Amino acid sequence: MSIKKDDKSAFKRFFDKYYQSIYIYLKSFKIDHDTAQEIAQSVFVKFWNKRKEIFITASSKAYLYRMAYNEYLMRLRKKDKEASLIDHLTYEALQDVTDLTHEEFEQKCKELNKSIAKLPQACQQVLKLKMSGATYKEIASELDISIKTVESQMRIAYIRLRQDLKDIFLFLMAL
């Protein structure tokens, strides 16, 4: 296989030949367009990076399908772990919130609002929509940005809020 010999033009032909079918296969798992594209691209990047180690006994297409499926499962497991951690942190935060007086609760809300005001405008927009109950997909649609951009802005917001509000971060998670 010429790809093993670092032939980039052969890899481009390989990519062009199989990318669309891998993308469609991933879409069959009922994932959004951006995620399917990202996973498909990741499969080809991994294939290229491991090209010298790969030994294909059946068809290249079958091998790519298996890689795509494994990548999809890996991301699904990662997402489940993150959701589990968030559920745990939320539970802990709710335990803390129930022990607050009304004045303490009001003070924490003021601190939160001050910290949100310090965030970049894009982070503020995304965070406020998320706090109002919107999904990432709804936020992306409303702001006319990609879901990945929403995720990125949320990550930035959480990191900055966590740094700014270390003592009340669990409280924030409960909200």
Range of the domain at 168: 100-174
88 occurs within a structural domain: no
Residues 6+ apart with CB under 8 A from 72: 26, 29, 31, 39
99: helix, strand or coil: coil
Out of 41, 60, 75, pick the residue that ends a domain.
75
Q: Quick check: is 162 in a domain?
A: yes
Asked whether residue 41 is domain-assigned, the answer is: yes
- Taking the C-alpha atoms of residue 151 and residue 140, their distance in angstroms, rounded to an integer, is 9
| DSSP characters over 114-161 | HHHHHS-HHHHHHHHHHHTT--HHHHHHHHT--HHHHHHHHHHHHHHH
Whether the CB-CB separation of 22 and 65 falls below 8 Å is answered with yes
Residue with tokens 């996973």: 39
Domain identity same for 15 and 61:
yes
- Claim to verify: residue 70 and residue 6 sit in the same structural domain: yes
The number of CA neighbours under 13 Å toward the Cβ of 91 is 6
Final residue before a domain boundary, out of 34, 59, 75 = 75
Taking only the tens of pLDDT, the chain with its 175 residues reads 678 788 889 889 999 999 999 999 899 888 888 989 999 999 999 999 988 888 777 788 888 998 999 998 888 887 767 666 666 565 555 555 555 566 776 777 788 788 888 999 999 899 888 888 888 899 999 999 999 999 999 888 888 887 777 655 555 454 4
Q: Is residue 85 domain-resident? A: no
9 CB-near residues (< 8 Å, 6+ apart)? none
Is 48 within a domain? Answer: yes
| CATH number of the domain that residue 114 is part of | 1.10.10.10
Residue 83 belongs to a domain = no
Q: Copy the structure tokens of residue 118.
A: 């310090």
Burial 44-81 (b: 16+ CB within 10 A, else e): beebeeebeebeeeeeeeebbbebbeebbeeeeeeeee
Residue 166: inside a domain: yes
Query: For position 52, which CATH number holds?
Result: 1.10.1740
Do 70 and 131 share a domain, yes or no? no
User: Are both 63 and 128 inside the same structural domain?
Assistant: no
Q: Domain total for the chain?
A: 2
Q: Which residue, 75, 91, 118, sits at the end of a domain? A: 75
In a domain, 163, yes or no: yes
Say if pTM beats, i.e. exceeds, 0.75: no
